[in-house]
């Protein structure tokens, strides 16, 4: 099928026609080598002292009455100009960049290599990679969850680098940290090309006026198509209303994994320095004013066991000093005074204590008592808040409740509703997209989040801390717009071997997905859909199973749209335990033709626990704990064990997506168990029969 079906409205991307900037046109319009514009024509060129160009060399400080007292100054060379009547300082030796991309396109790998090659980090002896993905869950899942700040010194310039998460559920974090950057490195996989999250993060960066540098990564991969991807990125930017200047983006090609970046995909380099040179040349230096009173907006919150909460942000105006008394302007406009205790700038992988930080640089500080993301730290006498930061609306919620299963308290330390509630409340301080809503029962809280991954990271964190809890199935948030029921929709991309594409389309259609694009890419078929978020829940497992793990799937929220009608929920019923006890191999063996089991012999189970998937649609109560009386001939279950299919073990997210409306997932530090909300069969029967609901049993 060699045809591209694009069901979108006519594309605005008409290349080469009059009035529409083309890649070539945009290039021609601008000089090839552009120098940053400095405040006044007669001002000194702050870059001259850097002409030496040696790695790590710092230029001689330039004398300047007003600023020589600043001990921690990073940009020793500076230039003062006048902007809107305010004195501005161009920190010529400072750049602030964020690295943004779709999940897995190689951001953290690139930061690793930059740190190693600028000697900020020793090359890993034991082969340990992705040093920035330091959180336990980040390492296990192989993804970045929290954005991180590092800084390097390259040719006398300090470059603050923010590594961001690429998973759509953490997109809000990216938007916030973009406030700290002047330019972005947009990484795009040279095979996959722009994906839904590429579009989202790029759109944010462009609308915030950031200068993009495009990095076509993974050019070492077979079947990669760097030039085509480059064109696609240009088209995407054009469609996203990038300015002429943004459209004139420089591009680096390379392989973060192999540690090189070059201007040509066919001419591999030895290192990533070409890219760093591009950063210095193309990313504007911070141009904040050091005049006026202090303004620093908190964009990230970190936590340390020793010093407590740490506020991180960019000094947007003035200078912040250690020990200084400041006012914190909150989102609601209220003001709280507080002293700044310790002040840090980013240095390498860590932080360095300093006495003061000037406008333009990023810093971390302690001592402020109560603060949230988006608050502004300002002058104590003339507090002046900044525009609040937009926070992503939640798209999904789940019911969290205390563990009331028969195994309650056996495996966890924190089990009471007060403990669970306090922990969740603490989480909302840092986890911005998370909201809590009380329910009629004090033991149940509705937790709102950005998606299954977002909530599963929280649940996993709590479980590792020793909590026991139960969660209901994830539900998307439905809104009433103009009197009509609306639901969240997602853009979905599936790349799958061509022979499997028919099956994929069928599965997505069943879930009310509408195909927008279908085009061949190498041996794969590239499919794009619009699908209700409801339809995404549980889809990944199905897609991976149907494609024998070969499909690549990505999705992200696009808009609220009118309700698309019923989507069939889980098509298979549950195998539910009849009587608490120990699972017997003999019993499982006899029930094998009824479905697939999630438990194996010798596991303890309780009445009402879901231990398997029925082959039919209805639930089936099964006796897995009672076996045939042992005879002389059969003294153990060993024979049966040998014949048993291994149990199907699901991950936390798979469990969450598997849950039906009438089920809970019991989460403890040691186990994940599915169960019916109503444990006994009689209660379930009564509940399913409206006539019996109010009858006491």
Ligand X SMILES: Nc1nc2c(ncn2[C@@H]2O[C@H](COP(=O)(O)OP(=O)(O)OP(=O)(O)O)[C@@H](O)[C@H]2O)c(=O)[nH]1
Nearest approach in angstroms of CB 346 to ligand X is: 19
C-alpha span between 51 and 583 (Å, rounded): 75
Distance CA 600, CA 485 (A): 44
Contacted entry of ligand X, Mg ion, none for residue 105, CB cut-off 5 to 8 Å set by kind: ligand X
403: partner contacted, choices ligand X, Mg ion, none (Cβ within 5-8 A by kind): none
221 binds, among Mg ion, ligand X, none (CB under 5 to 8 A by kind): ligand X
Buried-state track 439-450, b at ≥16 Cβ within 10 A, e below 16: eeeeebbebbbb
Query: Phi/psi at 106 (nearest 5 deg)?
Result: 110, 20
Backbone angles phi, psi at 265, to 5 degrees: -60, -25
Which one of 255-263, 317-325, 333-341, 629-637 is the stretch in contact with ligand X (CB under 6 A)?
255-263
- Phi/psi at 234 (nearest 5 deg)? -60, -45
**Interface with ligand X, residue 143, by CB under 6 A:** yes
Closest-by-Cβ residue to ligand X is: 166
User: What does the DSSP assignment read for 285-347?
Assistant: PP--BSSSS-EEEEEEEEEETTTEEEEEEEEEESEEETT-EEEEE-TTS-EEEEE---EEEEE
Q: Which stretch binds ligand X (CB under 6 A): 164-172, 393-401, 646-654, 679-687?
A: 164-172
In degrees and rounded to multiples of 5, residue 446 shows phi and psi of: -90, 120
Q: Does 107 bind Mg ion (CB under 5 A)?
A: yes
Task: For residue 32, give every residue at least 6 positions away whose Cβ sits within 8 Å of its Cβ, in sequence order, or none.
Answer: none
Query: Which residue, 195 or 652, has its beta carbon nearer to ligand X?
Result: 195
First-to-last alpha carbon distance for the chain, in angstroms, is 62
Contact between 144 and ligand X by CB under 6 A: the answer reads yes
Interacting residues of 3 by C-beta distance below 8 A, sequence separation 6+: 519
Would you count residue 167 as binding Mg ion (CB under 5 A)? no
Minimum CB separation of residue 123 from ligand X in Å reads: 15
Q: Report the distance separating Cα 176 and Cα 170, nearest Å.
A: 11
Instruction: Pick what 109 binds: Mg ion, ligand X, none; C-beta below 5 to 8 Å, kind-dependent.
Output: ligand X
Cα separation, 668 vs 601, whole angstroms:
20
In the DSSP assignment, the letter for residue 414 is B
Least distance from ligand X to the Cβ atom of residue 482, Å: 37
Query: Shortest approach of Mg ion to residue 569 CB, angstroms?
Result: 34
Q: Answer with the entry of ligand X, Mg ion, none that 120 interacts with (C-beta below 5 to 8 A by kind).
A: none
Which of Mg ion, ligand X, none has residue 156 at its interface (CB below 5 to 8 Å by kind)? Answer: none
Between 163 and 495, whose beta carbon lies closer to Mg ion? 163
Q: Cβ closer to Mg ion: 259 or 472?
A: 259
Nearest to 195 by CA among 219, 221, 162, 167: 167
218 binds, among ligand X, Mg ion, none (CB under 5 to 8 A by kind): ligand X
96-115 footprint of ligand X as x/- string (CB under 6 A): -----x-xxxxxxx------
> Segment contacting ligand X (CB under 6 A): 28-36, 161-169, 369-377, 494-502?
161-169
Q: How far apart are CA 657 and CA 374, in angstroms?
A: 33
Residue 255 touches which of Mg ion, ligand X, none (Cβ within 5-8 Å per kind): ligand X
Binding ligand X by CB under 6 A: which of 46, 166, 183, 451?
A: 166
The DSSP secondary structure of 591-652, one letter per residue, reads HGGGEEES--TT-EE-TTEEEEEESSSS-EEE--S--PPP-SS--SSHHHHHHSPPPP---H
Among 88, 89, 93, 108, binds Mg ion (CB under 5 A): 108
Quote the least distance from Cβ 187 to ligand X, whole Å: 7
- Phi first, then psi, for residue 389 (nearest 5°) are -85, 135
The CA distance from 412 to 667, in Å, is 9
316 scored as a contact of Mg ion (CB under 5 A): no
- Specify burial of residue 177 (Cβ count, 10 A radius: 0-12, 13-18, 19+): buried
To Mg ion, the closest distance from the beta carbon of 201 in angstroms equals 13
CB of residue 220 to ligand X, shortest distance in Å:
5
Taking each helix axis from N to C terminus, what angle separates 417-430 and 452-464, rounded to the nearest 10 degrees? 120
Residue list 628-657, contact with Mg ion (CB under 5 A): none
What one-character-per-residue DSSP string does 352-404 give?
EEESEEETTSEEEE----S--TT-EEEESSS--PPPPPP-PPP-EEEEEE---
Three-state DSSP class for 455? Answer: helix
**218 touches ligand X (CB under 6 A):** yes
Binding mask 56-95 for Mg ion (x = CB under 5 A): ----------------------------------------
Q: Within positions 113 to 132, which residues make up the interface with ligand X, using CB under 6 A? A: 130
Out of 256, 462, 537, 599, point to the residue binding ligand X (CB under 6 A).
256
3-state secondary structure of 112: helix
Piece of 95-103, 144-152, 212-220, 427-435 that binds Mg ion (CB under 5 A): 144-152
Smallest gap from residue 151 Cβ to ligand X (A): 18
Q: How far is the CB of 451 from Mg ion (least distance, A)?
A: 17
Q: Total residues contacting ligand X (rule CB under 6 A)?
A: 21
In terms of DSSP bridges, do strands 308-317 and 251-255 run parallel, antiparallel, or are they unpaired?
unpaired
Nearer to ligand X, 96 or 108 (CB): 108
Closest contact distance (angstroms) between CB of 163 and Mg ion is 6
d(CA 611, CA 592): 12
Which of residues 199 and 218 has its CB atom nearest to ligand X in the complex?
A: 218
Among 252-260, 577-585, 604-612, 621-629, which window interacts with ligand X (CB under 6 A)? 252-260
**Residues in the chain, total:** 697
- Please report, as residue ranges, which positions from 619 to 658 form the binding site for ligand X (by CB under 6 A): none
Instruction: Please tell me the number of Cα atoms within 13 Å of 143 on its side-chain side.
Output: 15
Q: Give the residue, chosen from 149, 157, 255, 456, that forms a contact with ligand X under the rule CB under 6 A.
A: 255
Q: Smallest distance, Å, CB 201 to ligand X?
A: 10
* Closer Cβ to Mg ion, 107 or 218, answer by number: 107
Round to whole Å and give the CA distance between 492 and 494.
Answer: 7
**177 is a site residue for ligand X (CB under 6 A):** no
220 binds, among ligand X, Mg ion, none (CB under 5 to 8 A by kind): ligand X
172 binds, among Mg ion, ligand X, none (CB under 5 to 8 A by kind): none
Residue 108 per-residue DSSP state: H
> In which region does residue 440 sit, left (phi positive, over 0), alpha (psi from -120 to 50) or beta (all else)?
alpha
* 103 vs 505, beta carbon nearer ligand X: 103
Query: Pattern of binders to ligand X over 221-240, x per CB under 6 A?
Result: x-------------------
Contacts with Mg ion by CB under 5 A lie at 107-108, 144
Contacts with ligand X by CB under 6 A lie at 101, 103-109, 130, 143-144, 165-167, 217-218, 220-221, 255-257
């Amino acid at each position: 099928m060699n045809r591209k079906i694009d069901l979108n409205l006519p594309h605005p991307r008409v290349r080469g026609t009059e009035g529409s900037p083309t890649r070539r046109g945009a290039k021609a319009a601008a000089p090839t080598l552009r120098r940053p514009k400095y405040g006044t024509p007669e001002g000194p060129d702050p870059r001259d002292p850097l002409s030496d160009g040696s790695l790590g060399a710092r230029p001689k400080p330039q004398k300047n009455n007003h600023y020589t007292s600043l001990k921690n100054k990073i940009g020793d060379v500076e230039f003062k100009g006048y902007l809107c009547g305010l004195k501005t300082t161009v920190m010529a030796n400072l750049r602030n960049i964020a690295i943004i991309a779709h999940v897995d396109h190689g951001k953290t790998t690139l930061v690793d290599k930059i740190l190693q090659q600028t000697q900020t980090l020793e090359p890993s002896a034991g082969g340990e990679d992705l040093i920035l993905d330091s959180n336990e869950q980040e390492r296990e899942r192989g993804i970045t969850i929290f954005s991180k700040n590092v800084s390097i010194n390259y040719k006398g310039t300090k470059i603050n680098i923010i590594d961001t998460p690429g998973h759509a559920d953490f997109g809000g974090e990216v938007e916030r940290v973009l406030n700290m950057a002047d330019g972005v490195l947009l990484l795009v996989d040279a095979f996959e090309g722009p994906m839904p999250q590429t579009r989202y993060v790029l759109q944010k960066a462009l609308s915030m006026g950031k200068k993009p540098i495009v990095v076509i990564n993974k050019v070492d991969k077979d079947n990669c198509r760097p030039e085509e991807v480059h064109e696609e990125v240009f088209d995407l930017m054009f469609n996203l209303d990038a300015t002429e200047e943004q459209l004139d983006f420089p591009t680096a090609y390379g392989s973060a994994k192999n540690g090189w970046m070059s201007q040509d995909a066919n001419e591999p380099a030895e290192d990533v320095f070409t890219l760093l040179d591009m950063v210095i040349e193309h990313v504007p230096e911070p141009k904040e004013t050091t005049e006026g009173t202090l303004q620093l907006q908190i964009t990230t919150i970190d936590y340390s066991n020793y010093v407590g909460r740490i506020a991180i942000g960019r000094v947007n105006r003035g200078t912040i000093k250690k020990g200084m008394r400041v006012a914190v302007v909150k989102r609601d406009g209220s003001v709280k005074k507080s002293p700044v205790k310790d002040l840090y700038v980013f240095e390498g992988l860590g932080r360095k204590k300093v006495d003061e930080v000037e406008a333009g640089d990023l810093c971390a500080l302690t001592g402020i008592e109560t603060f949230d993301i988006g608050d502004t730290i300002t002058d104590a006498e003339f507090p002046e808040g900044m525009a609040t930061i937009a926070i992503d609306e939640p798209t999904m919620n789940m019911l969290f409740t205390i563990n009331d299963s028969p195994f309650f308290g056996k495996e966890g330390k924190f089990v009471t509703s007060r403990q669970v509630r306090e922990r969740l409340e603490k989480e909302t301080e840092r986890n911005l997209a998370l909201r809590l809503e009380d329910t009629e029962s004090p033991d149940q809280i509705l937790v709102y989040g950005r998606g299954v991954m977002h909530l599963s990271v929280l649940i996993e964190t709590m479980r590792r801390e020793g909590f026991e809890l139960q969660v209901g199935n994830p539900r998307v948030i439905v809104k009433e717009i103009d009197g009509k029921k609306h639901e969240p929709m997602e853009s979905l991309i599936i790349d799958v071997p061509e022979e499997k594409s028919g099956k994929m389309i069928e599965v997505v259609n069943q879930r009310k997905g509408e195909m927008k694009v279908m085009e061949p890419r190498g041996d794969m078929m590239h499919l794009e859909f619009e699908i209700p978020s409801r339809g995404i829940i549980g889809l990944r497992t199905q897609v991976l199973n149907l494609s024998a793990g070969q499909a690549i799937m990505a999705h992200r929220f696009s808009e609220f749209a009118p309700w698309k009608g019923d989507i069939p929920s889980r098509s298979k019923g549950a195998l539910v335990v009849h009587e608490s006890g120990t699972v017997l191999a003999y019993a499982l063996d006899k029930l094998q033709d009824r479905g697939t089991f999630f438990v194996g012999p010798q596991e303890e189970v309780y009445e009402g626990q879901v231990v398997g998937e029925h082959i039919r649609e209805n639930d089936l109560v099964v006796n897995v704990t009672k076996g045939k009386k042992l005879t002389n001939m059969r003294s153990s279950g060993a024979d049966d064990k040998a014949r048993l299919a291994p149990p199907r073990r699901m991950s936390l997210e798979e469990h969450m997506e598997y849950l039906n409306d009438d089920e809970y997932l019991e989460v403890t530090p040691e186990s994940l168990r599915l169960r019916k909300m109503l444990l006994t069969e009689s209660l379930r029967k009564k509940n399913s029969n409206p006539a019996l609901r109010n009858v006491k049993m």
